[in-house]
Amino acid sequence: MFGRAARRGLVGLVGTAALLSVAACSSGGGGETGAGGGGGDDLIRVGFSQLGAESGWRTANTESVKESLTEENGFDLTFVDAQQKQENQIKALRDFVAQDVDVIAFSPVIETGWDEVLQEIKDAGIPVVLVDRTVDTTVEDPYVTWIGADFEQEGTTAGEWVAANAPDAKVFELQGTLGSGAQVDREEGFNAVVGDQVIGKASGNFTRAEGKTAVEAALQAYPETTLIFSHNDDMGLGAIEAIEAAGKVPGKDIQLVTVDGVRDGLQALVDKKFNYVVECNPVFGDQLAELITAVANGEDVPETTIVVDEAFDQTITQDEVDARAY
Ligand code: AHR
């Protein structure tokens, strides 16, 4: 299995958002492969299980995937939104097996609990492309290739900003969905740098509403909080509401460091309510389409494709935010 360990330390956060393919390759076939996407009227039949629509990031990622996996580009896409429920994803994956699609792609809501269904997919000879998040499974070679961001590096970058700019801050950590690759790895990266500054943590499940609720409770439990590290922009935006309702000034009384870089998050940075945003780029539909085509054709593909992110501070301009694609 690759996944978290293989992604550790692969890349830094540099430059504009771009894709870096890691050189190690694996066979795209893995046994039976689907209809060749290479020619004629053959469409590649893809079952894509998206984990939900919990955040601005997810919405942008879904749009990117749908814009790329079109009939015009050679795909017959079945897209299913799991509404952040693992049981819905498992059902969708089993439906894809029953439909005998050529390739299954999915973004797992949490890391564990996939052994049975991954084995069923493997037994059916359908190659899996893992998208965005990672799995932790006992199944051998459970997927052909994975594309996503280096979550641990994102947490590290956030921690380095805190260490350099707020070394005395008392930090509350607003975690994403517990047990998800994004939560586990961002927390690991951040805590490796400034874990000794963290005075409390709770999950806001990557949504604005639950982020707000978690911060309302945190401000009661940890009134000494001076900085919140939020695992995504949406929860950070919910935190702004909770902080203002408590009569405090976000960005000043309580600093906010977030991950994602969606337009609403960057607007909060321009408005000086967020202090630092580490990007997690959701727009990789074209690269996913290339990988799926190669996998369907039994070609070699990289084991991992890391979406490289950048980071933003309050020097970002309104023009840059207005030009943001998502
Ligand atoms: O897995 C990526 C994360 O999932 C994004 O940071 C978050 O906004 C989304 O819900």
Ligand 1 mean position, distance from CA 282 (Å): 9
Q: β-strands 128-131, 171-175: how paired?
A: unpaired
Strand, helix or coil for residue 165: helix
- Closest ligand 1 atom to the C-alpha of 107? 1
What is the structure's pLDDT at 9?
25
- Is 90 exceeded by the pLDDT of residue 6? no
Residue owning the nearest CA to atom 1 of ligand 1: 182
Kindly list the domain boundaries of the chain, sorted by start residue: 44-149+282-308, 151-280
Q: What is the pLDDT of residues 125-179, one digit of tens each?
A: 999 999 999 999 999 999 999 999 999 999 999 999 999 999 999 999 999 999 9
Which atom of ligand 1 lies nearest, measured to the CA of 206?
A: 10
In words, the CATH class of domain 151-280 is alpha beta
Would the pLDDT of 7 be above 50?
Answer: no
Q: What is the pLDDT of residues 303-313, one digit of tens each?
A: 999 998 899 99
Task: List phi, psi (to 5°) of 18.
Answer: -155, 175
Q: Which amino acid is at 137?
A: T
| Average of per-residue pLDDT across 79-105 | 98
Contacts of 152 (CB under 8 A, 6+ apart): 4, 7, 8, 185, 186, 188, 189
pLDDT at position 308 is 84
Output the CA 303–ligand 1 centroid distance in Å: 21
d(CA 112, CA 182): 13
Residue 256 pLDDT > 60: yes
Tens of pLDDT, residue by residue over 109-124, are 999 999 999 999 999 9
Closest atom of ligand 1 to 56 CA is 8
CB 111 within 8 A of CB 90: no
State which amino acid sits at residue 257: V
Residue 20 is predicted with a pLDDT of 34
So what's the pLDDT on residue 214? 98
Atom of ligand 1 nearest to the CA of 133: 1
Higher pLDDT, 165 or 16: 165
**pLDDT band (50, 70, 90) for residue 19:** very low
Q: Where are the alpha helices (DSSP H) in the chain?
A: 4-7, 56-68, 86-98, 115-123, 151-165, 181-194, 208-221, 233-245, 263-270, 285-296, 318-322
pLDDT tens-digit map of 46-55: 999 999 999 9
Measured CA distances, 308 to 5, 15, 20, 111, 158 (Å): 17, 8, 7, 22, 15
128: Cβ contacts below 8 Å, ≥ 6 apart: 103, 104, 105, 106, 118, 121, 142, 143, 144
For atom 2 of ligand 1, which residue has the closest CA?
A: 182
How confident is residue 60, by pLDDT bands cut at 50, 70 and 90?
very high
Q: How far apart are CA 217 and CA 164, in angstroms?
A: 28
How many other CB atoms are found less than 10 A from the CB of residue 243? 25
For the Cβ of 284 lying below 6 angstroms from any atom of ligand 1, the answer is no
Is 183 close to ligand 1, i.e. is its CB under 6 Å away? no
Q: Tell me if the pTM is above 0.75.
A: yes
Is 57's C-beta closer than 6 angstroms to any atom of ligand 1?
Answer: yes
Ligand 1 centroid from CA 296, angstroms: 27
Give the Å distance between the CA of 207 and the centre of ligand 1: 9
User: In the prediction, which pLDDT does 41 show?
Assistant: 64
* CA gap 200, 121 in Å, rounded: 40
Residues 6+ apart with CB under 8 A from 77: 46, 48, 66, 69, 70
pLDDT tens per residue, range 267-284:
999 999 999 999 999 999
Residues constituting the chain: 326
Q: Would you list the DSSP string of 180-236?
A: SHHHHHHHHHHHHHHGGGEEEEEE-TT-HHHHHHHHHHHHHH-TT--EEEESSHHHH
β-pair partners for 302: 25
Predicted confidence (pLDDT) per residue in 202-248, tens digit = 999 999 999 999 999 999 999 999 999 999 999 999 999 999 999 99
Question: What pLDDT is recorded for position 310?
Answer: 95
Q: Are 159 and 215 in contact (CB under 8 A)?
A: no
The verdict on the CB of residue 260 being under 6 Å from ligand 1 is yes
Tell me, in angstroms, the distance from the centre of ligand 1 to residue 312's CA: 17
Distance 174 CA to ligand 1 centre (A): 13
**Whole-number pLDDT of residue 14:** 25
Q: Is 54 in the pocket of ligand 1 (CB under 6 A)?
A: yes
CA–CA separation, 48 and 3 (whole Å): 19
Of the candidate CATH numbers 3.30.70.141, 3.20.20.210, 3.40.50.2300, 3.40.50.720, the domain formed by 44-149+282-308 belongs to 3.40.50.2300
Answer whether 48 contacts ligand 1 (Cβ < 6 A): no
Rounded to an integer, the average pLDDT of 290-298 is: 98
Distance 60 CA to ligand 1 centre (A): 10
